[in-house]
């Protein structure tokens, strides 16, 4: 409650300064009608080592500990601090994926199931539209969405949510504990690969990209949703202020954990800028590499094709 009041107050002061749609949106996607507090309160539970130099093993352990400790409050916090905006970003990610019945899909760092549920819902809606198409029924039977996450606590959050949604027995959803850098899937077995707010947490991004490339079939699509870099003057300054001053304070207020949120904002700044990350994806072998900024680059969706 206190958080909502604080963000609303902040939003009402700063909104007039940010009312230009060009300031808030870039490239193809627009989220018209969002308040400044929603825009500022971007998805916020991605917590990794930031400006502090953390050795590789320590980073791995740190990320593990952080997600274990936040797992139980993850959904609530994410919604609270993003003002629900992360849902729109994930919707966009899945619409770009273009899921289809029978597909084999891998969602990495997908512990909450947020992306997987959307994919399944899209596949089911295609089937519903086709009504009694026997072929589609058979294809649907073969749909597999693998949710892979290194942290069993985060996977448990996803499994509980599946239970709440009546999807616990759905054999399309397969929960797998595993590391993005060393996937336990065969070469060329997946039609699609997604990773949402996860790649920043892996120790070696190049290894995760190489693994994504390895498991995708030819024609398979790689999609990555990640907090990224804002370059628009004024908005960048406000965003920096929000990130470094407001978010850690929110973390303390809401989750009683200031330092994790400090890591969060620092890690966003350490993550490669959009162009650099696009070139890393291309270096992994992907073609037709593109990215789309949302909310002026607060987040970006990168994509690539394995041809
Ligand atoms: C911020 S959460 C994102 C969860 C979900 N994709 C979403 O958008 O709600 C980041 C997730 O990355 C997972 N993760 C971190 N390092 C990983 C790795 N090396 N391999 C697989 N998952 C990892 C964490 O356990 C955590 O569940």
Beta carbon of 179 within 6 Å of any ligand 1 atom: yes
Nearest Cα residue to 110 out of 186, 182, 195: 195
pLDDT given for residue 271 in this prediction = 94
pLDDT given for residue 134 in this prediction = 65
Residues 71-75: contacts with CB under 8 Å, at least 24 apart: 71/111, 71/151, 71/153, 71/154, 71/156, 71/157, 72/153, 72/157, 73/255, 74/45, 74/112, 74/154, 74/157, 75/112, 75/157, 75/161
Beta carbon of 191 within 6 Å of any ligand 1 atom: no
Give the Å distances, CA to CA, from 300 to 2, 64, 189, 235, 292: 29, 24, 26, 16, 5
User: Contact at 8 Å (CB) between 234 and 16?
Assistant: no
Give the Cα separation of 200 and 156 in Å (integer): 21
Give the Cα separation of 178 and 57 in Å (integer): 16
Give the pLDDT mean for 268-293.
97
Task: Tell me how far the alpha carbon of residue 99 lies from the centroid of ligand 1, in angstroms.
Answer: 21
- Of all residues in the chain, what percent carry a pLDDT higher than 90? 51
pLDDT digits (tens, 9 = 90+) for 81-129: 677 889 999 999 999 999 999 999 999 999 989 999 999 999 988 877 7
Which residues, in sequence order, are CB contacts of 166 under 8 Å at separation 6+? none
Residue with CA nearest ligand 1 atom 13: 109
Residue 279 has pLDDT above 90, yes or no: yes
Beta carbon of 113 within 6 Å of any ligand 1 atom: no
pLDDT given for residue 93 in this prediction = 98
pLDDT digits (tens, 9 = 90+) for 12-56: 333 333 333 333 333 333 333 333 333 333 334 444 445 445 567
> Phi/psi of residue 42, each to 5°?
-70, 165
Residue 212 has pLDDT above 90, yes or no: yes
Give the Cα separation of 190 and 271 in Å (integer): 26
Residue 48 Cα: closest atom of ligand 1: 15
User: Contact at 8 Å (CB) between 190 and 162?
Assistant: no
Residue 110 Cα: closest atom of ligand 1: 6
pLDDT given for residue 11 in this prediction = 37
Q: Which of 54, 88, 109 to mutate to test the pocket of ligand 1 (most atoms within 8 A of CB)?
A: 109
Beta carbon of 111 within 6 Å of any ligand 1 atom: yes
pLDDT given for residue 66 in this prediction = 66
Residue 70 has pLDDT above 90, yes or no: no
Task: Tell me how far the alpha carbon of residue 200 lies from the centroid of ligand 1, in angstroms.
Answer: 9
Residue 289 has pLDDT above 90, yes or no: yes
Task: Tell me how far the alpha carbon of residue 134 lies from the centroid of ligand 1, in angstroms.
Answer: 37
pLDDT given for residue 266 in this prediction = 85
Q: Which of 92, 108, 149, 212 to mutate to test the pocket of ligand 1 (most atoms within 8 A of CB)?
A: 149
Beta carbon of 85 within 6 Å of any ligand 1 atom: no
Nearest Cα residue to 119 out of 128, 107, 135, 108: 107
Task: Tell me how far the alpha carbon of residue 225 lies from the centroid of ligand 1, in angstroms.
Answer: 12
Residue 208 Cα: closest atom of ligand 1: 19
User: Contact at 8 Å (CB) between 165 and 117?
Assistant: yes
Task: Tell me how far the alpha carbon of residue 43 lies from the centroid of ligand 1, in angstroms.
Answer: 13
């Amino acid at each position: 409650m206190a958080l909502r009041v604080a963000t609303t107050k902040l939003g009402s002061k700063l909104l007039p300064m940010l009312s230009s749609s060009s300031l808030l949106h870039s490239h193809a996607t627009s989220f018209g009608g969002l308040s400044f507090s929603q825009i500022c309160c971007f998805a916020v539970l991605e917590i990794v080592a930031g400006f502090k130099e953390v050795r590789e093993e320590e980073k791995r352990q740190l990320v593990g500990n952080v997600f274990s400790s936040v797992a139980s409050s993850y959904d609530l916090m994410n919604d609270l601090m993003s003002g629900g905006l992360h849902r729109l970003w994930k919707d966009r990610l899945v619409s770009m994926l273009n899921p289809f019945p029978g597909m084999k899909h891998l969602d990495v760092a997908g512990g909450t199931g947020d992306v997987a549920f959307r994919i399944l819902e899209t596949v089911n809606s295609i089937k519903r539209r086709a009504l009694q198409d026997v072929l589609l029924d058979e294809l649907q039977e073969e749909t597999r969405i693998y949710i892979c996450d290194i942290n069993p606590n985060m996977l448990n959050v996803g499994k509980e949510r599946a239970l709440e949604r009546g999807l616990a027995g759905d054999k399309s959803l397969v929960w797998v504990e595993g590391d993005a850098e060393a996937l336990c899937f065969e070469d060329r077995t997946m039609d699609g690969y997604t990773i949402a707010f996860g790649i920043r947490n892996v120790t070696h991004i190049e290894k995760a990209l190489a693994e994504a490339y390895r498991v995708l079939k030819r024609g398979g699509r790689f999609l990555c949703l990640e907090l990224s870099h804002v370059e628009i003057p004024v908005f960048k300054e406000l965003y920096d202020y929000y990130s470094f001053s407001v978010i850690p304070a929110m973390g303390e207020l809401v989750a009683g954990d200031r330092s994790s949120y400090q890591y969060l904002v620092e890690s966003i700044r350490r993550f490669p800028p959009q162009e650099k990350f696009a070139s890393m994806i291309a270096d992994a072998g992907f073609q037709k590499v593109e990215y789309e900024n949302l909310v002026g680059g607060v987040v970006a969706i990168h994509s690539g094709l394995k041809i």
